[in-house]
Chain A
């Protein structure tokens, strides 16, 4: 999605905020839903993102794992697990991660290659109110598969900001978990030190809202071969972290190029064997 398309899409989504949710009221007035249920917001979102395309619900191809309740709404651990390996004949081409009721529901779009080896990802998301968290897996043959979890939390987009490491803003750290497996999917992570300000957080001292400032994209390559590109939004928690796999074909440099919403550019590298 280009930046201007993305802006238009987000503007259209803003109209979504007023969708009545009376039908979702549970005893006590709080919303409730089954993990695999739809929502008015999702009906609107899916029509905008995948017009006229069939979405297959279930966990046969992709599964999303998130807790029913997280410690903090500003940092909900989310894991996406793909059930097929990344082979040239059929692979996961794109993963869309969404939070139905967030002010900006499309949290991440990951554009993948077969260099990922296994399209599993982990990150942390802000969840602003009781909401479904969804993944849509777009396969190279055009099929769309989706899975969802209902998460009960609130205040993720307006949580008090952490200002402990602003002097390190943009520092990008790549890590490999465990041993490097040549020719096999190897687990790694990229973390960007960044407040990922949503624009909904209140500065407790000035009582002014902190302007949005968040990581827009992370592009990961290995020896100059694209592994994946991630388009992100402020629905990703502060200090955005992505855990992913990549297939090393020998020694070389794992590289992450990061851009934020103020056009800040940051780079992290990791030399491997």
Chain B
């Protein structure tokens, strides 16, 4: 292994350890008034029923900011810590247009076990993603974010993970659906 690669590997490990040292119990910060969804049907399947959230979004003319986090995922903790740090700046922007839905999962929950219920169908991750035309169907990544309107229509192709919007201006780009 070249020196550069070794340095990069060590940096990656150090980064992961540093993120892992954040509290494991953290969730989407309360300041954003998230609606917490626990999975149903465990342990065989982990199904999240999005229907009540969609109905509420329609009623209140808001969009959904659906966050899938894992209890044991360092990168989820990093994103949540970022949101917590910048709540004063970000909460008004979230509150204006979005309802935050916090889906609780863990890294052991695979794409095959993860289901979403929308309308009269409950679909496994990959099929759900294909149905909504999301390119992330190939790989489940924690954390994941979806933006939906009240009819469960995706508003923008989101990236895998949250690493590209962990600054305030970039989080605002996402909220503004800036492509």
A residues in contact (CB < 8 Å) with B:
26-30, 32, 67-72, 75, 130, 152-154, 160, 162, 209
Contact = CB atoms under 8 A, between A and B. Distances in A.
Most buried by A among B134, B164, B165, B178: B164
Given A153-B159, A209-B5, A71 B168 contact: no
A154 B164 contact: yes
A72 B157 CA distance: 11
A72 B136 contact: yes
Given A71-B134, A209-B5, A28 B178 contact: no
Main SS at interface, chain A: loop
A70 B159 contact: yes
B135 A30 contact: no
Contact of A28 (B158, B166, B173): B166
A209 B1 contact: yes
Given A209-B1, A209-B5, A69 B159 contact: yes
B163 A154 contact: yes
Contact of A30 (B1, B5, B134, B167): B167
In this complex, the interface size class of chain B, counting residues with CB under 8 Å from chain A, is 20 to 34
Contacts of A67: 157, 179
Contacts of B87: none
Interface in B134-175: 134-136, 138-139, 157-160, 163-170, 173
14 contacts: A28-B167, A28-B168, A30-B164, A30-B166, A67-B179, A68-B178, A68-B179, A70-B135, A70-B159, A75-B135, A152-B159, A154-B163, A154-B164, A209-B1
Interface of B: 1, 5, 134-136, 138-139, 157-160, 163-170, 173, 178-179
A71 B167 contact: no
Contacts of B5: 209
A31 B5 CA distance: 22
Contacts of A26: 167, 169
B173 A68 contact: yes
B65 to A, nearest CB: 16
B164 to A, nearest CB: 5
A206 B104 CA distance: 33
Given A153-B159, A209-B1, A209-B5, A69 B167 contact: no
A27 B169 contact: yes
Contacts of B170: 28, 30, 152
Contacts of B1: 209
A125 to B, nearest CB: 14
Contact of B139 (A32, A70, A72): A72
